[in-house]
Every structure is written in structure tokens, then in C-alpha cells.
Amino acid sequence: MKKDFLCLSDWTASELEAIFELCRDLKAKTKARTAHRLLEGQTLAMIFEKSSTRTRISFEVGMFQLGGHALFLHSGTTQMGRGEPIKDTARVMSGYCDGIMIRTYSQAAVEELARISAIPVINGLTDLYHPCQIMADLFTVIEHKSNYRDLTYCWIGDGNNMANSWINAASVFGFELRVATPKGYEPDAEVMARAKKAGAKILYTKDPAEAACGADVLNTDVWASMGQEAEQQEREKAFVGYQINDELVARANDDCVVMHCLPAHRGEEITDSVIEGKHSIIFAEAENRLHVQKAIMATLMGVNRCS
């Protein structure tokens, strides 16, 4: 049976750790320019209903390095944009391609696509989750710190798709996660309830200073995600005090790392000086999108693919 990558909590910690192991190997081979054509002759369809820099480039370059090919499909220039049902698109793509990566709004639509497709589907971001990003983030933490499961992670800002995926990660891996958001911008209530029921160690607070105190990993994201552009001004007011700046970083552990999935609004959710500062691992994090997604694709689509 094929397996999809839609949500971190569909996977066990040991399955995700196997992806990190493969990622380490593929990254070393990429740096050494050693061939690793695990997806020779395969094609990934990449459906985008939202903008992207990192996701598009890293999947496309990743497929090329694995010996395959990636098709960039903007929904507005396909029949999907004219209303062709997702279930028909899924069947047609299953006849041409070996995998699908989709970036869209609705998690339910991605789940429907995966249910009907005969080929693996990867979630490249929905309003609810961004699982590939969290895999890259955790791999980056592993590279910079030992015992990543014993660290204290901290989410400051909007309770958005990134925050929801961090909550899932805390549930799967068992690390401590503190989440600080303003009132009205909490993470998805069902995601939080499921994680807590599964025993996840999550502290929710409205106070960013409390969340950051003694933390090992500080993480944030834009205050208005794609699709929320009209709320930008209202959100800027609601999120005053939720910026990752030098003062907040000083509350965390001395050897803490700061992450941001990018794109960032410098001077809003994070300052220029923190992005460029000694705690930032933000650009290593961005590069690791390439390596971790290659490992995800090889796991789902390769000859030794999981079932």
C-alpha cells in the first residue's frame, strides 16, 4: 500500500527518524557530488494554489538530483482552476506521474487527493499544516544540538499551520513545547486537544517572555499567512509584544537557536538583528528543506518505499 506525507502525526517517531537518517546520507552525498539517483525516471507533479519560493525550488531541485523530474503546475493554469474535481485530477495524475506534492488551502482537499490517488501525496503546506517544514526544522536542530528530543521548544506568534505542525511534532517525539500567542490567535483547538490527549508536553501561555524563559529553540512565523493578507493591519496590532528580538532571545538559554520558516517580515515578528545574529540557524533551516524532502520523496516513491 502506498503511503502519503500529509500530517506528522500519521507517522511514528521511528519512521520519521528513519527519514532523518536517510536525509543525513543524502545531504552528505549532495555535498560530495556523489550520485544518488534513487528516483531515476520518476516524475513528481507539484500543484501550487499559493505562492512559494523554497518549497517549489527545493522539490524541483530535489527531484532533479534524485534522477527524476518535477512538473510545476499552478492551479490557475490547469483545469483545476476551472473547477475540474480533485477526484478526477487525482486519477489522471496517477496515470502519468509517480508522486504529487500539493500546496493549497484546505487540508481536507489534500486528504481527498491522497485517498483517490494511486501515487503518494505530499503536503507542501495547507492552512492547517506544514509538515515538510517541521521535518527540515527538526533535522536542522539535530545538526546543531545533541538529544533533540530532550530540548525545550518555543513557538511565539500566530497559532497557524506552522504552530499546529509543531504541536503534532511535540506529540510524536515527546519533547516539551511552549506556545505563546495573543488571544484569538491560538493554534487549532482540535490539533491541540488531540496532542494533549496523546500525552504531549505542551504549555500554552499568552506571555512570550514566559514561553521563552530557559528555552533551547525559539521559533516564529509571519503574523498574516497566505490568504490572510487583508487582516495584516489588524494582526500587526494584535501581535504587538510577540516579536522575537534580542531582549526575548536573552531570556532563553545562552546556547539557544532561533528558527523561522521564511519568508520573514523583518522588523515585525522577528528583528533583523536576530535573523543575522549568532543564535540564528534560519538559512541552514531553509537549505535543509532540500535534503529532508529528498528523503521524504525517496521514502514514499523509491524502490524501498515504505508501505
Asked about 213 being catalytic, the answer comes back as no
Contact 178, 157 (CB under 8 A): no
- DSSP-assigned letter for residue 188: P
53 binds ligand CP (CB under 6 A): yes
Phi-psi region of 259 (alpha: psi -120 to 50; beta: other; left: phi over 0): beta
Is there a catalytic annotation at residue 305? no
Closest CA to 109 of 140, 78, 75: 75
Task: Establish whether 221 is a catalytic residue.
Answer: yes
Stretch that binds ligand CP, among 28-36, 92-100, 183-191, 256-264 (CB under 6 A): 256-264
* Structural contact between residues 213 and 252, judged by C-beta atoms closer than 8 angstroms: yes
Tell me if 172 contacts ligand NVA by CB under 6 A: no
52 binds ligand CP (CB under 6 A): yes
Q: Which residues contact 147 (CB under 8 A, 6 or more apart)?
A: none
| Subset of residues 109 to 128 that bind ligand CP, contact rule: CB under 6 A | 125
* Catalytic residue of the set 261, 279, 291, 293: 261
**Catalytic status, residue 144:** no
Of 27 and 235, the one with the shorter C-beta distance to ligand NVA is 235
C-alpha distance across the termini of the chain, in Å = 5
Containing H/E element for 60? helix 54-65
CA angle 76, 80, 82 (to 5 degrees): 75
Rounded least distance, CB 54 to ligand CP, Å: 4
Decide: is 162 part of the binding site for ligand NVA (CB under 6 A). yes
Tell me the C-alpha distance between 31 and 27, whole Å.
6
Ranges within 213-242 binding ligand NVA (CB under 6 A) = 221-222, 225-226
Q: Which helix (H) or strand (E) holds 210?
A: helix 208-212
Toward ligand NVA, which CB reaches closer, 36 or 54? 54
Q: Annotated catalytic, 37? A: no
Q: Which does 221 bind (CB under 5 to 8 A by kind): ligand NVA, ligand CP, none?
A: ligand NVA
Does 235 interact with ligand CP (rule: CB under 6 A)?
Answer: no
Would you count residue 160 as binding ligand NVA (CB under 6 A)? yes
Tell me if 45 contacts ligand CP by CB under 6 A.
Answer: no
CB of 61 to ligand NVA, least distance (A): 17
Q: Residue 35, Cβ neighbours under 10 Å: how many?
A: 11
Helix, strand, or coil here: 147? coil
Q: Is 207 a catalytic residue?
A: no
| Chain residues that interact with ligand NVA, rule: CB under 6 A | 125, 160-162, 221-222, 225-226, 261
| Chain residues that interact with ligand CP, rule: CB under 6 A | 52-55, 125, 133, 261-263
- The catalytic residues are 103, 130, 133, 221, 261, 289
